[in-house]
């Protein structure tokens, strides 16, 4: 399934810099602002990024449901935005948040602690 571009009030200067996937999305990494803990990865289109920047709450585009979702609206596990940055290629968003409760849909604090792969040198 691919998303449909939605009209957005995202600042045109920011929108012009974004390098989106073929379906109009950019990956958005959520990171705990004070510890640096990587919490999760979601997807944003221009409108989700606009909402995140203007509401102070992370808004993502659900690729499976084809709709916007605000982290915490159904789970109570909110992400309060502290800062938002683009990477050097403007193809990934880093959102530093104050995470309330679990970030992962499984109920875990982070999506990246359950399946640590072995590293051999």
CB 23 within 8 A of CB 3: yes
Confidence label for 116 from pLDDT (cuts 50, 70 and 90) = confident
Task: Say if strands 59-62 and 93-99 run parallel, antiparallel, or are unpaired.
Answer: unpaired
pTM: 0.89
pLDDT per residue over 24-74, tens digit each? Answer: 999 999 999 999 999 999 999 999 999 999 999 999 999 999 999 999 998
Q: What pLDDT, on the 0 to 100 scale, is given for residue 7? A: 73
Q: Which residues pair with 95 in a beta bridge?
A: 30, 84
Task: Say if strands 26-32 and 93-99 run parallel, antiparallel, or are unpaired.
Answer: parallel
Whether residue 3 is predicted with pLDDT greater than 60 in this model: the reply is no
pLDDT per residue over 80-112, tens digit each? Answer: 999 999 999 999 999 999 999 999 989 999 999
Among residues 28, 6, 39, the alpha carbon closest in space to that of 112 is found at 39
């Amino acid at each position: 399934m691919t998303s449909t571009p939605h009209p957005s009030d995202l600042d045109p200067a920011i929108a012009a810099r974004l390098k989106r996937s073929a379906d109009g999305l950019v990956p958005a990494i959520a990171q705990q602002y004070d510890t640096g803990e990587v919490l999760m990865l979601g997807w944003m289109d221009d409108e989700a990024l606009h909402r995140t920047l203007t509401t102070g709450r992370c808004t993502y585009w659900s690729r499976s449901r084809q709709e916007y979702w605000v982290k915490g609206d159904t789970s109570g596990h909110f992400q309060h935005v502290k800062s938002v940055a683009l990477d050097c290629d403007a193809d990934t968003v880093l959102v530093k948040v104050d995470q309330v409760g679990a970030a992962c849909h499984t109920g875990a604090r982070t999506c990246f602690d359950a399946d640590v792969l072995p590293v051999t040198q």
